[in-house]
C-alpha cells in the first residue's frame, strides 16, 4: 500500500510567485492546488482538506489575515499548518498571524531552498531535488 500524497493549498494571486512555488515543489510527493483569492480557496476547501496552506497576506477581496481568522474558526482546520509567504512585513500582522497558529512567516522575496526546507519540515516529508531552478515561465509583465 503506497503512502497517500500530501495536499498543499497555495493561496497566491501573483502568477509569477504561484509559478515559482509550483517549480519549487515539482518533485515533491504532494498535490499542489492554487487559489488566487480567498473566495476561490473556500471553493477548493469544499472538496479537499489540505495538509498545509501557503498563504499570501495581500489578496484581492478578503486579506490573508481575514481568511486565516475565518479558517481557524472551523474545528476541522484547527491543526492544519499554515505558512505565510508574503511581502507584508509589519509587526502587527505578523503577531496576529502567529496568534492564529501560523507555523512560519516567510517574507517575499524568499529563497526557494528555504521554502522547500520549511515545507519538508512542516509536513514531515522529503524529496530529492534534481538540478537548479531553471526555465522559469515568462512573466506577463
For the stretch 58-72, pLDDT in tens is 999 999 999 999 999
For the stretch 98-122, pLDDT in tens is 999 999 999 999 999 999 999 999 9
Among left, alpha and beta (phi > 0; psi -120 to 50; other), residue 71 is alpha
For the stretch 33-52, pLDDT in tens is 999 999 999 999 999 999 99
The arithmetic mean of pLDDT across residues 8-30, rounded, is: 95
Q: Which three cell numbers stand for residue 8?
A: 498543499
What pTM, to 2 d.p., does this model score?
0.88
**Domains in the chain: boundaries:** 6-123
Report the CATH number of the 6-123 domain.
3.40.50.2300
Amino acid at each position: 500500500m503506497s503512502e497517500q500524497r500530501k495536499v498543499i493549498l497555495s493561496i497566491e494571486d501573483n502568477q509569477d510567485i504561484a509559478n515559482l512555488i509550483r517549480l519549487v515543489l515539482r518533485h515533491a510527493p504532494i498535490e499542489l492546488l492554487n487559489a488566487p483569492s480567498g473566495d476561490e480557496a473556500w471553493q477548493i476547501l469544499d472538496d479537499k482538506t489540505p495538509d498545509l496552506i501557503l498563504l499570501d497576506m495581500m489578496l484581492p477581496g478578503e486579506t490573508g489575515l481575514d481568511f486565516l481568522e475565518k479558517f481557524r474558526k472551523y474545528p476541522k482546520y484547527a491543526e492544519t499548518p499554515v505558512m505565510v509567504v508574503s511581502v507584508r512585513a509589519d509587526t502587527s500582522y505578523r503577531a496576529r498571524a502567529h496568534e492564529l497558529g501560523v507555523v512560519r512567516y516567510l517574507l517575499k522575496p524568499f529563497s526557494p531552498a528555504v521554502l522547500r526546507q520549511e515545507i519538508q519540515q512542516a509536513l514531515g516529508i522529503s524529496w530529492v531535488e534534481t538540478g537548479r531552478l531553471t526555465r522559469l515561465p515568462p512573466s506577463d509583465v
